[in-house]
Structure 1
Amino acid sequence: MKRLYPFLVSSTVIFVGCNPQNKTSETRTEAAIIEKAITWADFKKIKGVENVQEVPFQLFTKKDSILFYVSPDKAAAHLKVAYNKLHNYYGFEEFDDFYSIHYSINNTISNSIEAFVLKSEFTPASELTLQGVNLYEIRSSILKETQDLKNKSFDKYGTITEVSEQDFKAASKNRIDEVLVKNPQIRLQGNNWVHIENGKESVITQHENVSTEDGLLSNEYTGHSPYMKLEVFKETSVETTDRYYSFYNVKSTANFALFTGGYPQILPSKGWISYVTSNNDTGSDFAISRYLEQDHNQENLLYVNFTNFKIAGETKAFWADTKTFYAEVYPVNSALAKGKQQKAAFIKIQLKDNLLE
């Protein structure tokens, strides 16, 4: 039978006295805080921002509420405000611990104020990264001829991950998509692009001042596709932000053949033409089509509208193999700031096996 050993539990009780002076001090502090309670009327009224291009930088935060100070001083009077992602927080000046902002109350430009916000609560648009961003989120997609507006994740089609710049550059050394090359037979004469072969000239399209339903059109020669045997031009309009790449067959009568919504990546081994481009409305578009050589046409295979990033450089995107696509991107709210470059990120998209077969 085991012997039980008694043990002693020692406890200490600390008695804390209440100092009436402390209570008085706390009351005074609370009174001081109450006295500092302010409203919008306490902030300096200013002219609202009418041209975003004149804003030095924009600010973003992940907090639900933020503090607006009347001056760049942590002891200054301040107002707690709910953060609204639909509102604009225009940064104009940088201090040690603060940014000065121009803010339109209830998004009303005529009711704008100057306020000061803590640097610790905001990130300038030029310094945004993909950290914490859901890369899989999409707005809509089309697989072959089937549109899907309900599915909001890319995992239906494959995977998407952020990679390092080093991995991006290493993978680019083994790219398998076609590189467009300049055709010396394509020349600009006056305002016209022409194809010259054996002394015969064929006008491809007018270089500028072409009237279209979208306004004046400007064409820039991009290069020749050896696989497709077509000439590629970048077409833009001075009245819209839309741009696209058109393909011309110069061996017949320099006729328009097909187009893509962004700089094309041509994959001869699959007969694919792809592109990735920033969407004017939301995020960016990724599309793949199959080239139908006999008809000089294309069959749509996949379209995805990603919501949380935009494209940094269309011409830098490439295929590492027939399932793996790389692109350089920015967070969707990223923007240039005076004297500061945006922080680029790099993504890798991998399609599911036999997805487009």
Structure 2
Amino acid sequence: MKTLYPFLLSSMLISFLGCNPKNKTTEKKQHQAEVTQKIITFDQFKKIKGVDNIQDVPFQLFTKLDSIHFFVAPSKDADRMKVACKKLDNYYGFEEFDDFYSIHFSINNNISNSIEAFVLKSEFTASFDMTLKGVNLDEIRSSLLKKSQDFKNKSFRKFGTITEVSEQEFKTATQKRIDEVLVKNPQVKLKDGNWIYKENAKEIMIVQHENITTEDGILSNEYIGLSPSLNLEVFKENSPEVYDLYYSFYSVKPEAKFKTFTGGYPQIIPSKKWISYVNSNHDVGSDFAISKYAEQVSEQENLLYVNFTNFKIADQTKAFWTDNETFYTEVYPTNSAPSKGKKQKASYIKIQLKPNLLE
């Protein structure tokens, strides 16, 4: 009997485990999961009218994954399908849920074959949540150093370094800015539709205020202020018809005369007579430019121009220099955009030019 006891005990244990209801429950759940995660096609998704105007899209979604999942409802238990990501695919976001975004998606970029799907937040980044993390800030499209134009070099490292900094560092650095602040000149006033400079009883018309007809459309001029070091009055050209805006500089003595312009809000370093600007490029990324002012227009010199590809300028009026080689500005990632009730996430960069690069 002693030799049979272990055998009987083992047999009873095996029999007991085989009848364990927990195992049946596990098997049932596995079977249910297999049924829930059945393979589906685009035919199971709601057909919708495709996006024909991107301005109607609340926000866009971006992913770095090779494939993502489309759900038929905003639930992790809903039917889903795995979809390969193609370079030209667009994911137009329309609504936000706890763990999902609803999107409008055109199959094979065919607007007449569009569906509504739900995607996991963990697989995408919304345009209003984009940051500079993982972005190659050095990448440029083209550049100019003095008279040497370059379309082959694709890195800013030829000219210096560019790094992301914290908002706190950016704010602290503003206390060390060396570029001058443009101040309103009380002698420049608006009269009869023109900006005039008045000294004693003499009035000099500088530039027309509104409804200026040009080849590019109708312009108006907004007075920005005086550059004390250059002794020039600065005006901003505005136009609802033209994307590119310019800042024009005028002397007013002995007569009003156009002197130079910039493609963005100017930063002026008095000791160098440098005028710089940063601005979003309507084609790719953003522009950073520095020129040297001279009394004679023919003697003015373009020192540096760089077209960065991976970020846009947030508020160009907040850009500044802390010394002749260090420049700060507020930026957004290239595909960043606000949405209803959602602000873009601003980032901050520091550009450090190589010593004596522009000498």
Unpaired runs of at least 5, structure 2 = 1-17
Identify the match of residue 68 of structure 2 among 58, 63, 66: 66
Identify the match of residue 350 of structure 1 among 323, 327, 352: 352
8 A Cα contact 2:208 2:221, kept in partner = yes
Local SS of the residue matching 2:90? coil
Identify the match of residue 238 of structure 2 among 200, 213, 236: 236
Identify the match of residue 94 of structure 2 among 88, 92, 95: 92
Give the letter for the 2:207 counterpart: T
Give the Cα separation in 2 of the matches to 1:109 and 1:186.
54
Identify the match of residue 222 of structure 2 among 220, 223, 229: 220
Give the letter for the 1:151 counterpart: N
What is aligned with 2:12?
none
Q: Describe the shift of the 1:204–1:297 C-alpha distance in structure 2 as closer, same or farther (beyond 3 A).
A: farther
What is aligned with 1:199?
201
1:1-357 equivalence runs, <5 A:
32=35, 36-295=38-297, 298-357=300-359
8 A Cα contact 2:161 2:353, kept in partner = yes
Give the Cα separation in 2 of the matches to 1:82 and 1:248.
57
1:201-255 C-alpha deviation (Å, 9 max, x unpaired):
2222221111111111121111100111111111122212110111111113322
8 A Cα contact 1:289 1:298, kept in partner = yes
8 A Cα contact 2:36 2:77, kept in partner = no
8 A Cα contact 1:228 1:293, kept in partner = no
Local SS of the residue matching 1:173? helix
Q: Describe the shift of the 1:220–1:102 C-alpha distance in structure 2 as closer, same or farther (beyond 3 A).
A: same
1:31 CA drift (Å): 7.3
What is aligned with 1:4?
none
Query: What's the TM-score, normalizing by structure 2?
Result: 0.88
Unpaired runs of at least 5, structure 1 = 1-18
Give the Cα separation in 1 of the matches to 2:353 and 2:192.
45
Local SS of the residue matching 1:304? strand
Deviates more, 1:78-87 or 1:65-74: 78-87
Q: What percent identity do the matched residue pairs reach?
A: 68
1:120 CA drift (Å): 0.7
Q: Describe the shift of the 1:205–1:109 C-alpha distance in structure 2 as closer, same or farther (beyond 3 A).
A: farther
Local SS of the residue matching 2:176? coil
8 A Cα contact 1:214 1:237, kept in partner = no
1:28 CA drift (Å): 6.3
Q: Describe the shift of the 1:98–1:244 C-alpha distance in structure 2 as closer, same or farther (beyond 3 A).
A: same
Give the Cα separation in 1 of the matches to 2:179 and 2:66.
45
Size of the aligned set, in residue pairs, is: 336
1:181 CA drift (Å): 0.4
Query: What's the TM-score, normalizing by structure 1?
Result: 0.88
The Cα RMSD (Å) is 2.2
What is aligned with 1:3?
none
8 A Cα contact 1:258 1:296, kept in partner = no
1:100-136 C-alpha deviation (Å, 9 max, x unpaired):
0111223333322111000111111111111111111
Give the Cα separation in 2 of the matches to 1:98 and 1:30.
20
8 A Cα contact 2:36 2:78, kept in partner = no
1:77-120 C-alpha deviation (Å, 9 max, x unpaired):
22222223533211111112111011122333332211100011
Give the Cα separation in 2 of the matches to 1:87 and 1:252.
60
